[in-house]
């Protein structure tokens, strides 16, 4: 069945691949537990898988960039072997301001006439479309250019407003903050086109910003991610940045300066600006960090490294956008020697283009062995055709592919209830079939992803390809309930309403496309992939 063309277009008149096919936005907000299951959902998989991404709500003013779409979260809630799906827009301030048409232009247009932007004076729409971070009973929806973190109920997906951290947050908030579950702290930064170019901060376990410092950079930068270790935070100054001359003319243009090094700032977690130590390395760009930890005199930092972030060739704005967006990254390791100040660096896997990494989030900032990355297909647009599990102890890697014309999402690690080993659990991802225009959730055994899915949950609507995902364990939101006041699933308690609320949101529509499967027959759950095993790094 061919995918119908999207009704959401932009004003350029050019077909934009990021508005079509597997990227086309969906119209409906759905809540349903009436889902066909192929295979068996593990009873010890309890929690919620949430994925954010752009979903243009109205035809775009000017040209559309994939990063411009309104934030929409798709979620699968697993409980005692059952699954429930829902999707909701993030009700940002901009979402509320736009009632029947787009009021903002995107990053490919002059933003001068836009209604409002972030606190840094960047007059673009904060769509909260980029990542989701669980902290203190809430999920925070974030934006890559720095905006307001929007609080969501992890189960109902209701937008609860801007997280101000007890009125202590000043300025903006980046897309990929890090949470240390052992201490309850959250580490973040914000950046902007004018000094201070970078600010770094810590939200304490009590929920307030307890530490914030301004860091000196040679100019405006575009840091996307950060990392932590037991004692330090690591911030990045990479030589890909906005061309300020173009910005003065109202154009958004990036420059990659190969003459400059990549710099990694290592600062004590609650350090002052003058305590930061910069380690230099070869020029590159890094979207996403895998993890970092201290060992002996060194800090190890594993990342997905982009060696050539500039677009290939020229062409019009649409061609440049497509070229810039195409991920081309390799698993890479840095070692920063805190005694000598020296950096060593090199590929862990120089062959395979993998990105959107995830680890067992409980090990953030501590030594971790496994990383689960998406495999980026060789295509014009970003398509994740499979998953790669890396073992940094043995160098082994496992691969699993979804099959032709089937593409996945970021697949966070979901620990099994009572798990003991680091990879004792599951990977969960949405998989969208380009030809059928359908989507499903696949659950993989994290110990051996080559087996293919243990279960496939068929969804009543397509899930457009998107950005970041997270896994929230059931014990996290249950504990938040007991912590007092922050009851994330009060509107969703299964003992009261096993099916969950229906038609919960305005405009919501509960659609049932598949019959429920109480004891579903296994329909060759491995048949959709062509898992390969035993290929070493």
Task: Identify the helix (H) or strand (E) that includes residue 266.
Answer: strand 262-268
Cβ–Cβ under 8 Å, residues 95 and 447: no
Task: Identify the helix (H) or strand (E) that includes residue 413.
Answer: strand 413-415
Nearest to 41 by CA among 77, 76, 74, 82: 82
Query: Do β-strands 298-306 and 285-295 pair in parallel, antiparallel, or remain unpaired?
Result: antiparallel
Q: Which phi and psi (to 5°) does residue 420 adopt?
A: -120, -45
Cβ–Cβ under 8 Å, residues 228 and 178: yes
Q: How far is CA 511 from CA 30, 88, 373, 456, 502, in A?
A: 7, 14, 32, 19, 10
Q: How far is CA 526 from CA 36, 266, 403, 453, in A?
A: 17, 44, 10, 6
For residue 93, the Cα-to-chain-centroid distance in whole angstroms is 21
Give the integer Cα–Cα distance in Å for 293 and 155: 32
Question: Which residues lie closer than 8 Å to 462 by C-beta, 6 or more apart?
Answer: 3, 22, 24, 26, 432, 437, 438, 439
The reply to whether 176 sits in an annotated binding site is yes
Write out 123-174 in H/E/C secondary structure.
Answer: CCCCCCCCEEEEECCEEEEECCCCECCEEECCCCCCEEEECCCCCCCCCCEC
Q: Pseudo-torsion of CA 151, 212, 131, 368, nearest 10°?
A: -120
DSSP of 66-111:
GGGSPBEEEEEEEETTEEEEEEEE---HHHHH-SSS---B-TTS--
DSSP letter, residue 269: T
Question: Which residues lie closer than 8 Å to 318 by C-beta, 6 or more apart?
Answer: 12, 14, 16, 63
The reply to whether 482 sits in an annotated binding site is no
The residue whose two tokens read 């120089």 is 350
Give the integer Cα–Cα distance in Å for 74 and 53: 9
Report the chain's C-alpha Rg in angstroms.
22
Nearest 5°: the CA angle 396, 398, 404 is: 150
DSSP letter, residue 352: -
The residue whose two tokens read 């495999």 is 375
Nearest to 529 by CA among 41, 39, 78: 39
Give the integer Cα–Cα distance in Å for 285 and 29: 36
Cβ neighbourhood burial of 133 (10 Å; 0-12, 13-18, 19+): buried
The reply to whether 224 sits in an annotated binding site is yes
Q: Which residues are known binding-site members for Fe cation? A: 176, 224, 288, 468
Q: Which residues are annotated as a binding site?
A: 176, 224, 288, 468
């Amino acid at each position: 069945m061919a995918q119908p063309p999207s009704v959401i277009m932009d004003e350029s008149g050019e077909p934009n691949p990021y508005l079509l096919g597997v990227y086309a936005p969906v119209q409906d907000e759905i809540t349903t537990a009436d889902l066909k299951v192929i295979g068996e959902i593990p009873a010890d998989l309890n929690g919620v898988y949430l994925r954010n991404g752009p979903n243009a709500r109205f035809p775009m003013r000017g040209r559309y960039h994939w990063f411009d779409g309104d934030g929409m979260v798709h979620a699968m809630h697993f409980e005692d072997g059952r699954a429930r799906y829902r999707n909701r827009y993030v009700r940002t301030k901009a979402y509320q301001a736009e009632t029947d048409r787009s009021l903002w232009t995107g990053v490919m247009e002059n933003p001068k006439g836009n209604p409002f932007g972030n606190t840094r004076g960047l007059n673009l729409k904060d769509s909260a479309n980029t990542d989701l971070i669980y902290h203190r009973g809430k999920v925070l929806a974030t934006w890559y250019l720095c905006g307001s973190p929007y609080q969501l109920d992890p189960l109902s997906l209701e937008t609860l407003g801007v997280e101000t951290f007890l009125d202590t947050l000043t300025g903006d908030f980046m897309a990929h903050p890090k949470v240390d579950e052992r201490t309850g702290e959250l580490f973040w930064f914000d950046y902007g086109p004018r000094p201070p170019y970078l600010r770094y901060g810590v939200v304490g376990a009590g929920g307030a910003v307890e530490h914030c410092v301004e860091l000196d950079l040679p100019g405006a930068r575009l840091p996307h991610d950060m990392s932590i270790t037991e004692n330090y935070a690591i911030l990045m100054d990479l030589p890909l940045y906005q061309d300020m001359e173009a910005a003065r003319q109202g154009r958004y243009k990036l420059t990659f300066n190969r003459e400059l090094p990549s710099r990694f700032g290592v600062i004590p977690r609650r350090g002052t600006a003058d305590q930061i130590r910069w380690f230099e390395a070869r020029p590159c760009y890094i979207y996403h960090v895998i993890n970092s930890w201290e060992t002996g005199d060194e800090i190890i930092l594993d990342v997905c490294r982009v060696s050539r972030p500039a677009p290939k060739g020229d062409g019009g704005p649409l061609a440049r956008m497509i070229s810039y967006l195409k991920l081309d990254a390799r698993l890479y390791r840095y070692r920063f020697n805190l005694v000598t100040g020296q950096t060593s660096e090199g590929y862990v896997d120089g062959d395979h283009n993998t990105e959107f990494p995830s680890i067992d989030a409980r090990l953030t900032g501590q030594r971790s062995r496994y990383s689960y990355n998406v495999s980026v297909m060789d295509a014009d647009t970003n398509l994740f055709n499979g998953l790669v599990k890396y073992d940094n102890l043995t160098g082994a890697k496992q691969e699993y592919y979804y099959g032709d014309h089937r593409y996945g999402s970021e697949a966070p690690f979901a620990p099994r209830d009572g798990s003991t080993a680091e990879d004792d659990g599951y990977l969960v991802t949405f998989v969208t079939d380009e030809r059928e225009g359908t989507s499903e959730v696949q659950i993989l055994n994290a110990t051996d992803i080559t087996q293919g899915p243990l279960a496939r949950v068929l969804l009543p609507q397509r899930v457009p390809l998107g950005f970041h995902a997270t896994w929230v364990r059931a014990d996290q939101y249950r504990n938040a309930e007991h912590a007092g006041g922050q009851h994330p699933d009060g509107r969703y308690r299964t003992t009261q309403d096993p099916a969950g609320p229906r038609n919960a949101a305005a405009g919501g529509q509960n659609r049932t496309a598949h019959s429920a499967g109480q004891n579903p027959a296994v329909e060759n759950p491995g048949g959709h992939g062509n898992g390969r095993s035993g290929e070493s790094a």
